[in-house]
Amino acid sequence: MRAYLLDTAIFLWSLGPAEKLNSQARALLEDRSTELFFSAASSWEISIKVALGKLRLPEPASNYLPKRLTSQGIRSLPISHLHALAAGELPPHHRDPFDRMLVAQARSEDLVLMTADTSFKKYGLEILWCAR
């Protein structure tokens, strides 16, 4: 069975109404036997968006994110030096540093990236399209 890395948007969508996610994505997220990972880069991205007022959460991100990850059975994926170096060596298809880190981590850890962002297709990694 494959393991999956959720991009930031897919994680946030998983917390709300089901209409944004397709049935395959929803089924994987609900199946407790699916091995799911969430990058520290996505936590960093969310905390920055909250601080800038671009995203609202019901409580501080430092409380909210760990609770939600635990309740959904999602494992944390730290950023290693290997990941950082791999992100720096990626072709310049995308300038978003958070997304580049997700690509590097998915490749390095042999994870399928769950996304609704077409820019990831340029990197030739295995993705699972999650949008309706």
Q: Which long-range contacts (CB under 8 A, 24 or more apart) does 26-29 make?
A: 28/4, 28/114, 28/128, 29/72
Residue 98: is its pLDDT beyond 80? yes
Residue 18: is its pLDDT beyond 90? no
Range of the domain at 107: 3-129
- Tally of structural domains, the chain: 1
The CATH number of whichever domain residue 33 belongs to comes to: 3.40.50.1010
CA 11, CA 100: separation in Å to the nearest integer?
A: 17
Residue 129: is its pLDDT beyond 80? yes
